[in-house]
């Protein structure tokens, strides 16, 4: 359900003795309510509104799920800890007719410069995948 249109506050819609007060209120209320209105009408984005980073990583795993190509994520903010990672897209770059065999879960270790991926489930061995990963802080 979309919200009904937002009716902005205009001082000239009120009696002359109230217009000064309405002008002061409208300056902050119109901006705040408009921002909230936009957010609640499908204008919330992952990058702008969720404390996370979205990265693409290329990975090749062996039969045991361990990356053979040293897959990792570089972090710009190395002072914060990642609480979890989620794969939101997996594209097989080796053979587009071969798909992941199950849910893709990542085991990782955070280091000073980034995140080292130590295990990935659900990928076909010896195929190169491009994974779009959301790392949550």
80 and 127 co-located in one domain = yes
pLDDT values of the chain reduced to their tens digit, one per residue, 137 residues: 677 777 888 999 999 999 999 999 998 899 988 888 888 887 888 888 888 999 999 999 999 999 998 898 888 887 889 999 999 999 999 999 999 989 999 999 998 888 999 999 999 999 999 999 999 99
122 and 99 co-located in one domain = yes
83 and 125 co-located in one domain = yes
In the chain, the number of structural domains is 2
Question: Residue 123 sits in which domain range?
Answer: 47-136
1 and 54 co-located in one domain = no
Q: What is the pTM of this model?
A: 0.74
DSSP-derived secondary structure for the chain: -PPPPP----GGGS-GGGHHHHHHHHHHHHHHHHHHHHHHTT---HHHHSSEEEEEEEEEB-TTS-BSS--EEE-S-TTS---EEEEEEEEESS-TT---SS---EEEEE-SSEEEEEEE-SPPTT-EEEEEEEEE-
pLDDT at 88: 96
């Amino acid at each position: 359900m979309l919200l009904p249109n937002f009716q902005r506050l205009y001082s000239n819609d009120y009696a002359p003795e109230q217009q000064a007060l309405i002008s002061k209120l409208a300056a902050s209320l119109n901006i705040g309510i408009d921002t909230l209105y936009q957010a609640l009408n499908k204008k919330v984005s992952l990058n702008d509104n969720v404390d996370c980073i979205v990265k693409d990583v290329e990975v090749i795993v062996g039969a045991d799920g361990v990356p053979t190509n040293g897959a990792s994520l570089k972090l710009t903010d190395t002072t914060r800890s990642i609480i979890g990672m989620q794969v939101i897209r997996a594209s097989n770059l080796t053979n587009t007719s071969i798909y992941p065999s199950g849910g893709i879960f990542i085991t990782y270790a955070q280091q000073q410069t980034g995140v080292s991926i130590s295990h990935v489930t659900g990928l076909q061995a010896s195929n190169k995948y491009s994974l779009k990963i959301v790392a949550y802080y």
